[in-house]
Structure 1
Amino acid sequence: MLDKIIYNTVLSQTLSPCGKYLVAGNIYGQLAVFDLDNIFNPVIELLTSDYNKPKHIHTLESGSQVCSLVSTKKFLVVGTVNQILGWDWKSLGHSKLGKPAWNITIRPRSLFENCDINSLWCSEDEEKIYAGCGDNKIYVHNLEDGRLVNSYEGHSDFVHCVHGNGKQIISSGEDGLVLLWDTRTKKSHNKIEPHRNSKVQRHDIGKWVGAAALGNDWIICGGGPRLSLWHLRSLDVVTVFDLPDNGIHVAFFHDDCVFAGGVSKHLYQLSYSGDIRVELPVSATTVYSAVLRTNPRKVLSIAGSSPEIDLCTTFNYRDQVLHFR
């Protein structure tokens, strides 16, 4: 592992509800638990050289890569290969990670296939978990008992991203589709195909859409096609962002900004009109994950194809570099 960890890739991150812990998952099936209280407010007399390393590193029993992470008030939810696992947050502070509190198995279409849980999103009432998967489907499970509530079918290739806002869900995939779903009708009612738009398409990178997010009136999406802002009701492209990237894996709204990253050495903060407000240098050559929280602590954490994770409290520059090794 010492040799491999140099090439560590962090695919996912999440923050605990209390704001004390940052959890990052990598391609080796490891969960790194960082104590943010100790990192941001160290006791100088007790400070050691490894203060910015994980408090604990837990390895999943299956050894499968950690594809996605999401937090609820009670659980750390882990998406891996063929499984969604839930641990009580209280157990994450222990040196040894016990058995998960619950386990949902996603059945692949055949015994010879694996299904990566590429994206997880939890409903606002925290009753349901939405999983965008490698078998082209989105599965909806009840968090209370793990029961399968529904599955959405509409993508013809694996799902990269799933996100929601109120009663609407958005998904994006390797097939180049961005689909809008109504949770009340459980059907896709609209779609965007960015790779077919001449302003957005980038044939040399591909048609896949790695990230999509819903705002109140807007959609942000990008991947092989350029990062672009679309009007939610008309589904017209409003802004095409001119970024020097070779693919987008992360895109989300915060306040009046768009945050985006991917195959680039920067995480960008952009105005809706396309202006670059902040061009934040990052440690990873490709950004696969960025999580932002303003309460109870203001923090932005950026990770990807590097054992280093960048931590920001002002969102304008790096305060700390954490080491997942």
Structure 2
Amino acid sequence: MGPVELLHMSVFSQSFSPCGRFLAAGNNYGEIAVFSHPFTKPLCFFVFVCQDNSLVVGGGDNNIHVMDLENGVFKTVLQGHSDYVHCVTVREREAEILSGGEDGAVRVWGECVFQVCARPQYGKWISCVTTDSDWMLCGGGPSLSLWHLRSLSPTSIFNLSGCQRQSTFHQDLILTVGDGAFVSHCLLGGEVKTQIPCTPQSLNTLQLNNNSTEHRVLTVGGSSDRIDVFTNLSYRAFSLRF
């Protein structure tokens, strides 16, 4: 890949393997690199969200596809979004798939409407959705917000500038990235506790490796060919490169 392509590269998605020893990341050129610990160079290319030996994929055809990894066959297609699917996650305890899309819907497979969090200047699209038991985080065009899934009501709305593209729960914190060169650490009540600098000037994706105590790290990617690695949540330790 030439210097011009590297200059315009963005990392859009990441996922750790179930064993915690591999990190897969995808960029805007359709490449997916797989790094092995101690994170040296790419091994191969693919994209996945793993749940019970299944692959869950969403994208430009507005549908969610579920593949059986044992035989490599797509076994289910979930149809309901009316526009591009930006994000997919799994509510493990209930084995439910959640997805968010350009159409502004979050599907649990049902639909939630987030007018209370709307920001017309950014649009209605949902770029991030994640769950922790009975709780859900979602945001994008609407403000990042914490929702109680049983009542489908917001409990906290986070005062963060720009669009948030991926978020995750971590102990008593919420970690989130989006517009801006930093990872925001937020309290569950809605307060922004701190913001940690990163290499890319705009961020698309973050992943916490909770599958391995030996290789427990946070990785962050965005508008750069670099993926920042945090061995401590308070500072960036080093960066990977495509």
TM over 0.5: yes
Matches within 5 A, 1:17-96: 17-37=18-38, 54-56=40-42, 78-79=46-47
Quick one: which of 301, 310, 315 aligns to 2:219? 301
Matched, 1:274 2:190: yes
Q: Match for 2:163 among 233, 236, 247?
A: 247
- Report Cα offsets for 1:253-289 as digits up to 9, x if no partner: 2222212111122111211101223311111122111
CA apart distance, 1:212: 0.6
Q: 1:33 Cα shift?
A: 4.6
User: Please, which of 168, 172, 177 is the counterpart of residue 100 of structure 2?
Assistant: 172
Residue 221 in structure 1 maps to residue 149 in structure 2? no
TM-score of the superposition, structure 2-length normalised? 0.89
Q: Distance in 2 between matches of 1:268 and 1:220?
A: 14
Match of 1:44 in 2: none
User: 1:189-209: per-residue Cα shift (whole Å, max 9, x none)?
Assistant: xx2112x22xx1110011000
**2:70 is equivalent to residue 154 of structure 1:** no
Displacement after TM superposition at 1:248 (Å) = 1.6
CA distance in 2, matches of 1:226, 1:161: 16
Tell me if the contact between 1:30 and 1:57 (Cα under 8 Å) persists in the aligned partners: no
Contact 2:18 2:50 (8 Å CA) reproduced: no
- The alignment partner of 1:226 has SS state of coil
State, as a whole percentage, how many aligned pairs show the same letter. Answer: 36
8 Å contact kept, 2:6–2:224: no
The residue number in structure 1 matching 2:8 is 7
2:178 aligned residue: 262
Counterpart selection for 2:126 from 205, 209, 213 = 209
Query: Max radius of gyration: which structure?
Result: 1
8 Å CA contact 2:118–2:143 kept in 1: the answer is yes
Q: Residues 57 and 305 from structure 1, CA distance in 2 versus in 1: closer, same or farther, beyond 3 angstroms?
A: farther
- Which of residues 108, 111, 131 is equivalent to 2:57? 131
With normalisation by structure 1, the TM-score equals: 0.67
Distance in 2 between residues matched to 1:279 and 1:147, nearest whole Å: 42
Residues 218-250 of structure 1: CA deviation (Å, up to 9, x unaligned): 110000000000111001111000012x21210
Give me the whole-angstrom Cα distance separating, in 1, the residues matched to 2:230 and 2:96: 31
- 2:113 is aligned with 1:193: yes
Partner-residue secondary structure (3-state), 2:151: coil
CA contact (8 A) 1:31 1:57 kept: no
SS at match of 1:155: coil
Shift in alpha-carbon separation, 1:22–1:154, aligned structure 2, 3 A: closer
C-alpha displacement at 1:314, in angstroms? 1.1
- 5+ long unaligned stretches in structure 1: 40-53, 61-77, 80-119, 182-187
The answer to whether the Cα contact below 8 Å between 1:291 and 1:301 also exists between their aligned partners in 2 is: yes
Give the distance between the partners of 1:17 and 1:131, measured in 2 at CA: 17
Report the secondary structure of 1:3's partner residue.
Answer: helix
Equivalences, count = 237
| CA RMSD in angstroms, aligned pairs only | 2.0
Distance, in Å, in 2 between the alignment partners of 1:16 and 1:154 is 28
Preserved CA contact (<8 Å) 2:159 2:192: no
Q: Secondary structure at the match of 1:5?
A: helix
Q: Deviations over 1:116-141 (max 9, x none)?
A: xxxx4322x22x22211211111122
Shift of 1:144: 1.2
The offset of 1:55, in angstroms, is 2.6
1:298/1:314 contact within 8 Å kept:
no
> Which secondary structure state, in structure 2, belongs to the residue aligned with residue 322 of structure 1?
strand
Structure 1 residues 148 and 264, CA gap change in structure 2 (3 angstroms): same
Could you say what secondary structure the match of 2:49 adopts? strand
Q: Distance in 1 between matches of 2:32 and 2:57?
A: 19
